[in-house]
Structure 1
Amino acid sequence: MTVTVSASQSNLKQASILYVEDDPVTLKTVGRMMSRRAREVYLASNGHEGLQLVQSGEALPDIVVTDVEMPVMNGLEMVRRLREECRYTNPVIILTAYRDDEHRSSLANTHLYKPVNAAKLFAAMEELYQKG
């Protein structure tokens, strides 16, 4: 699913984002916030869907934002496969409710904790996007 809208004044206005989240309400709500700031937002409800979007070329995200705990394929496995199989080198932000090492990955650029703080999320996205 792709949501494209004109972006507000933001460094992300030229960015495309892949947002992966299994909770449908959170996916829709945060996805809508992202679509107000970014050029393009791709939404996936699990890691398998997110990986397929990139593998197929349907999504070429400048930033990936993913939950960890999801059915079918978790976010950590998706990030590992994006990095290894797709040679994805753009920034990855992992969102998790857990503060243990099991829910972290050295393949991610940053980790943020749920519940999602929109200001922190967008600040992290803008910083990582600027770094390129």
Structure 2
Amino acid sequence: MIKDLQKLNILYVEDDDFIREHTSSLLKSIFKDVLTAKDGSEGIDTYKKHHNRLDAIITDINMPKISGLDMAKRIRKNCKQKTPIIAVSAYDCDDYGITEISKNFAHYLRKPIQIKDLLTSIDKAIKGEVGDYCK
């Protein structure tokens, strides 16, 4: 699995500066390239600029300006490409509605996340496998 992940380019969207810097540093040691964004608005802009080379998106849900859920909806609505999006949140997915989560995200992980779980979710999402949403 790890060998295949080293060929992937991902976008990581997280509003907390410390978490974004720490996690992206770790992700950069695993993936070919990791682009970052500090909120959903910046995530959409980054996706528009780099969509043709992105293999997956990892996003927090609760963020200022545009939430991760709204970002995912806009990406899904405006882009033909089906880049898998993995949601990461401190909140239970029931807070957002299981229908909204399953329609817009390939996988949903609760914070604090284990890197192994995140890598497994990305690997499955790239292969087209949907995840368990409300564990």
Query: TM over 0.5: same fold?
Result: yes
CA distance 1:61–1:47, change in 2 (3 Å): same
Aligned residues: 124
Give the equivalent residue in structure 2 for 1:117.
114
Cα deviation digits, residues 39-70 of structure 1 (max 9, x gap): 11100000000100122347731000000010
Whether contact under 8 Å (2:93, 2:108) holds in the other structure is: no
Give the equivalent residue in structure 1 for 2:4.
11
Give the equivalent residue in structure 2 for 1:92.
85
Percent identity between matched residues is 27
Q: In structure 2, the residue corresponding to 1:65 is in which secondary structure?
A: strand
The gaps in structure 2 that reach 5 residues or longer are: 130-135
The gaps in structure 1 that reach 5 residues or longer are: 1-8
- Asked if 1:81 is matched to 2:74, the reply is yes
Amino acid at match of 1:18: L
Give the equivalent residue in structure 1 for 2:123.
126
Relative to the length of structure 1, the TM-score reads 0.85
- Asked if 1:103 is matched to 2:103, the reply is no
Give the equivalent residue in structure 1 for 2:53.
60
| Aligned-partner Cα distance in 2 for 1:46–1:10 | 29
Aligned-residue CA RMSD (Å): 1.8
| Aligned-partner Cα distance in 2 for 1:95–1:14 | 22
